[in-house]
Structures are given as structure tokens and as C-alpha cells.
A and B are shown apart, each in its own frame.
Chain A
Amino acid sequence: MDLTTSPEQDEIISSSAAFLRDRLPITRIRALFDESSNVDDAAWSGAAELGWFVLGLPEANGGVGFGLADEVHLFREIGRGLATGPFLSTVLAARVAAFGGHAALAEAIGGGQRVGIVIPGSSTLIGADGSLTGPLQLLDCEADGLALAVSPEQAVLVRVSDLTGVTPVACIDPGVRLCRADASGVAPIARVTADVDPVQRRGHVLAAAMLVGINEAVRDLSAEHAKSRVQFDKPIGVNQAIKHPCADMAVRAQLGYAQSIFAAVANDEGREDADYHAISAHLAAGEYADLSAAATVQIMGGMGFTFEHDAHLYCKRAFVLGQLFGGTSTQLGRLLDLPSAR
């Protein structure tokens, strides 16, 4: 038993953090808010060249062959950097293509073809044959592109052009592109069941990793502000009313990180309680990031309420990530229905 990072993981952390800092700094991400696409094409291609979209895919399928525990460290940095673009769904889609027997598509996705994700509504269904039906929402999808739809049992890829009534609507998160759409028995172009590859489980863990990155980012923002902001002739961080929420952010960040890597390793080692830990990771990291981001707005004071400050961007991204794979309420129900952890 050892949950410390390997030299390879340390390398993933430092190289991905450096890439995001250089190629997708927050200034660039903010500039993308006003453009039609939230993706920086050059940065996206650069990420593809670095193998980000096939990092966890086996070498036999054209991937880098790393584990989910390695991908966690990449997605933690993506979350921390508030990187825009469908990173999570593209990585999962590459698996659906590869394990669904569509090697050429998997290669194209690994090479930079983007795939957005379906946010199912209360009456959205993925049928036993993988066909998609019902009103739904789309995150970061392109009109001529693909969308990933996931349930606990299976994951499918559909063409956005096969959906009807695709209508852009503003998203709560300015870094995310949202559409409403309808599907009536849309046949998938690729499909994989959870017993072949547990796509939703991996999605839970990677969403959790992004939420951990967000939690760590707001922790650091708050701590920095607590040290530098002077009121009543003292840094505000001397006050326990500021200090203690900052400490809570640090604890939540560690807890979320610990559970995310535990869940990832549980998956990589094929433990029978892997789903339990993956859902726990998503739920825990989601709540922790939510609480920490909200507390950061408060610690920043009036500045925290402005669009100019980044605090709200973390709140909003945390909220969006919490809605993935069924949303909080559904995840709580699923977790309660599972057998106890080992």
C-alpha cells in the first residue's frame, strides 16, 4: 500500500501545469468567453500531441498505457487551471471508440477530434441497444461533432447532427458551451458496456480530480489574500474568522485528493468496491470544492462578487462538474444502494 506519487506522476503534474500556464492562462480562457468556441485550437492540438486524450488508454489501443491514477493528476491540473474545452468527455470518448471496436475513431479523437457530453434530463434514456431518446442538454458539443452519453451500464457516442432542435443557451459557467436538444431513438456510432470498460466510473474519478484542482486553487487564492489584504492595520488572516475557513479549504482539498487517488487505484487494481469509491470521490470532492469556492467569494469580500475576479469561475465550474454523471442527488442514491466498501 502506497499512495505517494511516482516520478512519472510528478512529471505529469509539472509538465501539464506548465503547459496550461503557458498555453491556456486564465487571460486566454477569459478571452474565449466571448468567442463562439471555448476551445483554443492550438492549445488543444498541443494537448493531443502530448497524448493527453489517450493517456489512460492501453498501448494496444494506441494509447500511452497509463492508469487512471495517472490521469487523475492530469485532470487535477486541468481543473485547477479552469481550462475550457471538453477534456473530460474527449478522454472518455476515446475509450468508447477504442473498446467499442472503432480504432480509427479512437485514433482521430486521440489526435484532437473533440467530443462533448450529454447531460441527461429526467426522461432521457439510453436503450439496451444504445439508442438515445428524450430531451437533453449538451455540454461543449459542436454541430458537426460527436457527443458522449453515459449511464452506469454503458457509454455511447452519437452524432450531434442526428439530434433535433439543437439550440444554444447561455450556461451558468461562461467557460462552458451549453445547448438544448432532443433525441428520438438516435443510434450510436460507438458503444461500450460497463463490464468491458467502466466509462462512468472513470468519469466520476476524473470529475473528482478536476474538483480537487479547483479546491486547491481557491485554497491558494484565499490564503494569498488572507496574507496580503490589510485591514485594521493587520493582514486579515490573523483573524480566526478568516483563518479557519482557509484551514477548512486545506483539509477538504486533502480529503478530496486522497479519495480521488484511492478511487483511481481501486479502479486500476480491479477492486470490487471501485464504483463505491469513484462515486464517493465525485460526491466528496464536489461538495468540498463547492464549499471552498463559496467561502473564497466571502473571503475576497466585494471583489469576490465581481466578474473580474476569478472566484466565481471556480464556483461555477465546480457546480457544472457536480452535474455530470447523474448529478448529486442521483449519485447519493446510487452510493446508498451499493454494498459496503471492503
Chain B
Amino acid sequence: MDLAFSKEDNDFREEVRTWMTENAPRERRPRDLVAMREFDLAWQRKQYAAGWAGIGWPEQFGGRELPLTQQLIWYEEYARTSLPPIDARFVGLAHAGPTLMVRATPEHQAFHLPKILAGEVVWCQGFSEPEAGSDLASLKTKAIVDGDHLVVTGQKIWTSFGPVADYQELLVRTDFDVPKHKGITWVICDMKSPGIEARAIKTIEGGQEFAEVFYDEVRIPISNVVGGINNGWSVAMSTLSFERGTAFTVSQVQLSTSVERLIEMAKSRKSVNGRPVIEDEALAKKLARARADVAALRSLTYLNISRNARADQPGPEGSMLKLQDADLTKRVFKLALEVLGTRSLANPHEEDDSYWVDRHLLSYSSSIGGGTSEIQRNIIAERVLGLPR
């Protein structure tokens, strides 16, 4: 066991740190969706031009194919910027792209993957539906084969960046007469197709990334189907083996930075009673507890990455990271409001304190998005402990 990085890895860290310092966007990320898309894509283009695009992608698809420890280092350095862990590039780089790599035809790969890497396109996800959330396989958006096209009618929801996306990884039901997992098809949907309407859903912190997407007889070429008709479930699950433990690194490092900033704030600010916030013993203990818990989460990240570097298939431990990251995110940003005290009442976006209010409100999504914490607990109980379904 060792925690030391090799000289090569340390040199790599220096290189990344220098590059990030000189190149990471310093201006505030816009809140307007179209401007946000441009901001995120410009950032991707900058990374691409400097040879940093797709650090975990295989070289054959234009990626850097860095070893896991260097991916970890990249994300740790990335986290030193104040950029969000997930942005408009996420679905393309971390989900749709990797899916295309393992399941799509060379033609689709050659067309789409370079565009994702080069920051030319935004992808969104069309999985969840109003009646298919955690029970994703019960989705009902219908696709009928009409010649060489699928004709899609239905509705998707929780589609981040839907209104400004170019493409969508879309799950549709192509067979209603077989068990639910067996009648699903994964298809590339051009978001500019006639019959698509994406309506923004405003979220509790005032954000507008979310959308519901309506499909009214949308015609999609059958050649856009990936993995074959009715094989969509296995295609959708194929990225599970791509994620090898680095997914929550940025979030977890930023959480640690947040705890340290909160401790500084608690020392320098005064409570309504006129005494430094840190003298509130109950609050001080919560901050210390947060330090210990954040340290443990970081250690688990390191342990997971160590194990995954040696395993062919990542284990179900990834669910543990997601679960703890969500719980701790909620706890830390709630704690931020305690440190702010009555100042947390105001939510003007231009003030620094509003960052904490924003992050607190956003944190409610951490245990819902990307698979709820309840589903993560089911996965851990069933796959790690062998409990009955």
C-alpha cells in the first residue's frame, strides 16, 4: 500500500495544474441556458485544442487513455477551479460517447465521437419518463417501424440541457408484448427533428437546465439505432463498466474545499450574539465531523480507484461513492447555511454568500439525479450483501 504518486504522475500533476491555472475560465458561468451551452463548449474546445479532451477515452477514439491515477490527478486539479463537476458536456463525454464506443457502428463512431471531443455538440439523455423514473424499464415512449424509419411518440423528462442539445441518447419502446426490459431500443435522436418540443423545467434554485421533451411522430432513421432493435436495455447499461471510480472526484474534492472555506468563515464571522461563529460548540463539532467524513470519502475514492486499476470490471462499490457523496453534499451545504446564519435569507445572485445558498438548494438533487439514493441502497444491499429483491 502506498499513497505516493510516481515522479511521472507528479510531473503530470504539475503540468495539469499549470495548464488549469492559465486556461480554466475565470469568468462566472452564465445562468442563461444558451450562454451556458456556449461557455461549456468553449471550455471543451480549449481542452481539445490543448490535447486534454477525453482523458479517459481510448486512444483509438481520439482520447488520451490516461491511466486511472492520472485521471484521478486530472480531476483533482480540475476541482481546484470553481467549475461545476457536471455541465453540458457530461452526457456526451461520460455516457453517450462511451456507449457509442462499445456498441455503435464504425460509421456512427466516426461521425459522432470527434464532434463530442472537439466541443462541437451537446448531447442530452432521453431515459426518464413521467411514469418511468427509478423503474426505468417501464418506459412507454413508443416507436413504430415505418419503412427505414422509427416513428416516435411520447414524452421524456428530467432531460438536462434538452432545449440546447444537438443529439439525444433516446430509449424507446419498440415492443409492448414482451417483458419490459426486452422491448426497448436505444437510438440516436437529432434534437432538431420536426415534432420535438423541449420545454424548460425551472428547478428549486432557479436553474433552467432541466427540460421535458415531447415527441409527436418524430421520424428517426433506423440506421440511428445502436445495438439493434429491442436490445436497448443492454446498450443503456453498457457504460456501467466505463465508470471506474473517478466520477465523483471533482465533487468530493470541492466538498473538501467547501468544508475548509466554511471553517475559515466560521472563524472570521460573528454570530448574532456578537461572538465568532466557531464558538458555537455544536456547530464547531459538525464542522469537525464534516472534515472526518470528507476525509473518509476521499480515502474511499482512492481505494476504489486502486481496486479498479487492477480489476477487469469495476465492482458495485461505485454505488457507495455516489450514495455517500450525495449524503455528505447535502449535509455540508446545509451546514453552510448554519455558518451564514441570518445572511442565508437573501439570495441575490451577485453576492458571494449566494453561492452557498445556491449550492444548498442544488444539493437536494444529489440524492435524486443519476439514480436515487434509494436505488443505490437497493443495489448495495442486493449486489454487495446478497439480500433478496
CB within 8 Å of B: which residues of A? 1-6, 9, 69, 219, 223, 226-227, 234-235, 237-238, 240, 242-244, 246-248, 250-251, 254-259, 261-266, 269, 271, 276-277, 279-281, 283-284, 287, 329, 332-333, 335-336, 340-341
Contact = CB atoms under 8 A, between A and B. Distances in A.
B302 A258 contact: yes
B300 A254 contact: yes
B306 A4 contact: yes
B5 interface: yes
Given A223-B386, A332-B288, A1 B69 contact: yes
Contact of A271 (B3, B324, B385, B388): B3
B1 A244 contact: no
Interface in B274-332: 278, 284-285, 287-289, 291-293, 295-300, 302-303, 305-307, 309-310, 317, 320, 323-324
Contacts of A262: 3, 295, 298-299, 302-303
B387 A223 contact: yes
Contact of A227 (B293, B317, B386): B386
A251 B380 contact: yes
B57 to A, nearest CB: 22
A336 B385 CA distance: 35
5 contacts: A2-B1, A4-B307, A227-B387, A240-B374, A259-B299
A247 B1 contact: no
Contacts of A69: 1
B378 A240 contact: yes
Contact of B285 (A240, A281, A332): A332
B377 A243 contact: yes
Contacts of A258: 296, 299-300, 302-303
Contacts, number: 166
Contacts of A251: 320, 323-324, 380
Interface in B58-94: 69, 72
B91 to A, nearest CB: 27
Nearest to B317: A254
Contacts of A259: 292, 295-296, 299-300
Given A254-B303, A269-B3, A246 B387 contact: yes
A198 B374 CA distance: 42
B295 A280 contact: yes
A247 B378 contact: yes
B320 A250 contact: yes
A280 B291 contact: yes
A235 B382 CA distance: 13
A329 B305 CA distance: 33
B295 A265 contact: no
Contacts of A261: 1, 299, 303
Chain B interface helix/strand/loop/mixed = helix
A25 B293 CA distance: 33
Contacts of A234: 388
B2 to A, nearest CB: 6
B4 interface: yes
Contacts of B298: 262
B377 A248 contact: yes
Nearest to B387: A237
Interface residues of B, number: 50
A236 to B, nearest CB: 9
B263 interface: yes
B298 to A, nearest CB: 8
Nearest to A5: B1
**Quick one: which of B1, B292, B302, B380 has the most chain A CB within 10 A?**
B1
Contacts of B284: 332-333, 336
Contact of B381 (A250, A254, A264, A333): A250
Interface in B107-122: none
A277 B320 CA distance: 21
Nearest to B385: A223
Question: Can you list the 8 inter-chain pairs with the closest CB atoms, starting with the nearest?
Answer: A262-B299, A258-B299, A259-B296, A247-B377, A247-B380, A332-B288, A280-B292, A280-B295
Interface string B23-45: 00000000000000000000000
A3 B377 contact: no
Contact of A250 (B2, B291, B380): B380
A227 B388 contact: yes
A260 B233 CA distance: 39
Nearest to A242: B387
Nearest to A288: B296
Contacts of A269: 2-4
Interface string B363-389: 000000000001011101110111111
B260 interface: yes
Contact of B306 (A3, A219, A235, A246): A3
A2 B295 contact: no
B381 to A, nearest CB: 4
A269 to B, nearest CB: 6
A333 B302 CA distance: 26
Given A243-B377, A269-B2, A4 B323 contact: no
Nearest to A271: B3
B251 to A, nearest CB: 16
B306 A226 contact: no
Contact of A240 (B256, B291, B377): B377
A3 B285 CA distance: 29
A226 to B, nearest CB: 5
Nearest to B384: A250
A6 B1 contact: yes
A271 B5 CA distance: 13
A276 B291 CA distance: 9
A340 B260 contact: yes
A336 B288 contact: yes
Nearest to B316: A250
A146 to B, nearest CB: 32
A265 B288 contact: no
A335 B292 contact: yes
**Quick one: which of B4, B299, B324 has the most chain A CB within 10 A?**
B299
B293 A284 contact: yes
B380 to A, nearest CB: 4
B291 A335 contact: yes
B315 to A, nearest CB: 11
A295 B374 CA distance: 17
A329 B72 CA distance: 34
A246 B385 CA distance: 8
**Quick one: which of A243, A246, A271 has the most chain B CB within 10 A?**
A243
A333 B284 CA distance: 8
